[in-house]
Structure 1
């Protein structure tokens, strides 16, 4: 492929703008949906299925990102990006029309498939059309999408909930997705070499089964009445993953080339991305619930506390692009690891009597940590591999972060449900009070109908469960920092 000729025919600013708009679709899902979730639960019911609204999206996102990365290396970035937008918009439309929690979860499965193409394609397209020195700077621009989604997502989410209806948090994706498709179709010109069209669908299927069964296992772990189901899920998870590794090793076209994992920098970057994915989903999924359900603040205030995380993200990502050229990958990532620890400490010390500003400060440091680490890892990986595997290499890192988010929301959701369930039992609230009582607690109108003693006990249980979740975030931040320290030192590097 003549990379120089391809680059000359590109209108890079317009391609970048279209890519950023496509990324915005997936980026805003975290902040805008999390802000609207208390109202969604209050409307549709099913508090016990709360975490599955996120898990469904993350599950199909994590399970499909690798195959889309592989398909992009074969067919090119444009058709995969456009196809991802179409699937994402179908899921968004169905989500907005959902009238039960189960229907919403099903629509989120479809949305997640589309997002599985959007994120890796956006990052890979940038890796294709910009050189190493430019990438570090442009990745900062891409990360600014998180800042834009942070400012607009929670604000729009809060306004839609308070003024219009939560349906609009999904329907607003439709015009944006159409614009992103038009931009890529008109301005991205690829010259793809003819190559083998063989795709390892068996490996993709086995990976999907393994991740799916693990997700169900972790999400339903708090329901201890079905031990036989857990045994089956454990067996399916282990068996499908072992078979996946076997077929990957003997496949001509593996979904995730195992050679990537032989590179120490890529291996550490991917494993750390898994951990940081668990951290960021722990903040974005449950912070609005804490602010609304425990601090008794509005959806708009809850949105602001989440906004600052994604404001810190692009700022730090832009700074990281410059630091990478002045110091080193390792030192930049270490600064990110320190910031994650600081942010997690703020959440660990969070109490109902503290101001939402306290939670916002913690969110900001988490965002700074994510900006520094994620930008470092993407630039490092793309600079370490050639074009023919850049799509799958980039996708592998995004996959690990998505997998971390999927596992994180499942584990943290199970912990939260278990803690709340035990608190309800301990306080002997009666058979009429269950996890679904939190549907009323999160609804400003319905909560007024609950006795004050019940409200007090439910808030105490929710606070206890979320404190346990934030304790887990602190431990994960320590683990991510420990892994970053194992990154190989570069020349003239003293730490």
Structure 2
């Protein structure tokens, strides 16, 4: 009698870590290389689209992948997403202009929409709740490794070769990941769900997200007809989506999830904190390279302590959940993020590189604790049959938060920058000079008597971004107050 194959838990756990590493490297390498990309392709005004289109595409697809993972199975959805991600990465690496890069990043984002949520769903499948927090802590080790490898590799590749290669690194990693999951993840045959796929709900959800996120992207152009129209269409999309989901036999997202107060608050806080995280990852390297004049490598490595200590924070968060109730756990986990955010607000143009490294670590322990606690709460606050959808929605919340906030941060940056350049009109400063300033390869060609004023404009712009970021943490504290004091000692 043939022995029944079973999932190799160790190999699949390692595969999930590889997937986390791949997506983490994507963030740290691109953030490190962005000043060089902007300088090369001359696009500081639209640089946010390189991040935003990736997040937008990922956000639109995430709930659909989650529903299909519950309906069809984790494995086929996971492999499909990784394959699309690899194709998008390869195309991004061959981009010759900013428009090509933005389009190919959209393809990359479509694939990425499956990687993180289905990875977390697989962890929920193969580990009981009492071990899940610890595994999530170990998973954060991949972020720590990526935070060291990413900035170093990104800086080295940018300095020694070409920024195009920062995307190509995903191709071999993704291929290895697909092979491991194909061979070692064994799923039980699912009973065929005869309920029709909620195509109309899926389309309305994508349209709804598209107009919401596009509206925020266009805010920087002013509240014209396109921006207002996008938000109006978003509202109409929400109304249509709710109407359809109430009548669907198998809705893409069950509206019953939103009756759970813990689930709703956890997702909103995740969106806000992920938005702040995006600001940290994008604008600290820009601060280092544009204001302090560091190399691309040093500009990226300043984020390394954050991601390395993130792992420690994840373990701490897992233990905290066994001792404190959910409200207190989140309140304490947000404290290091608030301290790190206040440092960024109070830092000036002469603040030492060493202090940035210290508070990068402080932020890391806060992000690690908070995201681990929020992830487990999102999964355990709902029935197990909805865990794929709930995990995907949690990932969607984080992605939407990142997408909206990178747009708002970009608006704040551009408005402050425009005002700063206008105030210094007599010096004939312009955005082309700002492009050159934040690119380590071209900063040296600027007239030295103008560098100080250009750095002053950039400092004011990034400083205002961090002020907005701290407000997100304060809002999270207020929201957490309304959460139930559920005890998590049973985990």
TM-score range, shorter chain: over 0.9
User: How far apart, CA to CA, are the structure 2 residues paired with 1:492 and 1:79?
Assistant: 34
Deviation at 1:59, TM superposition (A): 0.7
Aligned partner of 1:420 in structure 2 is 417
Deviation at 1:492, TM superposition (A): 10
Find out whether 1:177 has 2:174 as its counterpart: yes
Quick check: 1:84–1:117 contact (8 Å CA) kept in 2?
yes
User: How far apart, CA to CA, are the structure 2 residues paired with 1:454 and 1:118?
Assistant: 45
**Match among 185, 193, 208 for residue 195 of structure 1:** 193
**Match among 118, 121, 124 for residue 124 of structure 1:** 121
**Match among 402, 407, 411 for residue 408 of structure 2:** 411
Aligned partner of 2:446 in structure 1 is 450
Alignment RMSD (CA, Å): 2.0
User: How far apart, CA to CA, are the structure 2 residues paired with 1:453 and 1:241?
Assistant: 53
User: How far apart, CA to CA, are the structure 2 residues paired with 1:489 and 1:286?
Assistant: 36
Q: Could you say what secondary structure the match of 1:420 adopts?
A: helix
Moved more, 159-168 or 340-349: 159-168
Aligned partner of 2:455 in structure 1 is 459
TM value normalised by structure 1: 0.94
**Match among 196, 214, 217 for residue 216 of structure 1:** 214
Deviation at 1:429, TM superposition (A): 5.4
Q: Could you say what secondary structure the match of 1:444 adopts?
A: coil
Q: Could you say what secondary structure the match of 2:302 adopts?
A: helix
User: How far apart, CA to CA, are the structure 1 residues paired with 2:200 and 2:283?
Assistant: 36
Aligned partner of 2:433 in structure 1 is 437
Residues 261-317 of structure 1, C-alpha deviation per residue, up to 9 Å, x if partnerless? 111211111111111111110101111111101111111111111112211222111
Aligned partner of 1:109 in structure 2 is 106
Say if 1:254 and 1:365 are closer, same or farther in 2 by CA, change over 3 A.
farther
Q: Could you say what secondary structure the match of 1:326 adopts?
A: coil
Moved more, 328-337 or 28-37: 328-337
Q: Could you say what secondary structure the match of 1:365 adopts?
A: helix
Quick check: 1:83–1:114 contact (8 Å CA) kept in 2?
yes
Matched residue count: 486
Say if 1:474 and 1:134 are closer, same or farther in 2 by CA, change over 3 A.
same
Quick check: 2:85–2:112 contact (8 Å CA) kept in 1?
yes
Aligned partner of 1:341 in structure 2 is 338
Aligned partner of 1:33 in structure 2 is 30
User: How far apart, CA to CA, are the structure 2 residues paired with 1:362 and 1:64?
Assistant: 34
Aligned partner of 1:372 in structure 2 is 369
Say if 1:247 and 1:114 are closer, same or farther in 2 by CA, change over 3 A.
same
Quick check: 1:36–1:299 contact (8 Å CA) kept in 2?
yes
Aligned partner of 1:476 in structure 2 is 472
Say if 1:244 and 1:365 are closer, same or farther in 2 by CA, change over 3 A.
farther
TM value normalised by structure 2: 0.94
Residues 306-350 of structure 1, C-alpha deviation per residue, up to 9 Å, x if partnerless? 112211222111222222223333332222111111111111112
Aligned partner of 2:231 in structure 1 is 234
Aligned partner of 1:358 in structure 2 is 355
Structure 1 runs of 4+ aligned residues shifted over 6 Å read none
- Runs of 5+ consecutive residues of structure 1 not aligned to the other structure: none
Find out whether 1:75 has 2:45 as its counterpart: no
Quick check: 2:213–2:404 contact (8 Å CA) kept in 1?
yes
**Match among 387, 390, 396 for residue 387 of structure 2:** 390
User: How far apart, CA to CA, are the structure 1 residues paired with 2:200 and 2:453?
Assistant: 50
Residues 161-197 of structure 1, C-alpha deviation per residue, up to 9 Å, x if partnerless? 1122211211111111011111111111001222136
Deviation at 1:491, TM superposition (A): 5.2
Deviation at 1:22, TM superposition (A): 1.4
Residues 368-403 of structure 1, C-alpha deviation per residue, up to 9 Å, x if partnerless? 222112111222232233442110011111110111
Quick check: 1:337–1:369 contact (8 Å CA) kept in 2?
yes
User: How far apart, CA to CA, are the structure 2 residues paired with 1:407 and 1:291?
Assistant: 24
Deviation at 1:436, TM superposition (A): 3.6
Residues 126-154 of structure 1, C-alpha deviation per residue, up to 9 Å, x if partnerless? 00011111112111112222111111111
Quick check: 2:117–2:395 contact (8 Å CA) kept in 1?
yes
Say if 1:355 and 1:24 are closer, same or farther in 2 by CA, change over 3 A.
same
**Match among 134, 149, 154 for residue 152 of structure 1:** 149
Moved more, 64-73 or 256-265: 256-265
Find out whether 1:321 has 2:318 as its counterpart: yes
- Runs of 5+ consecutive residues of structure 2 not aligned to the other structure: none
Aligned partner of 2:266 in structure 1 is 269
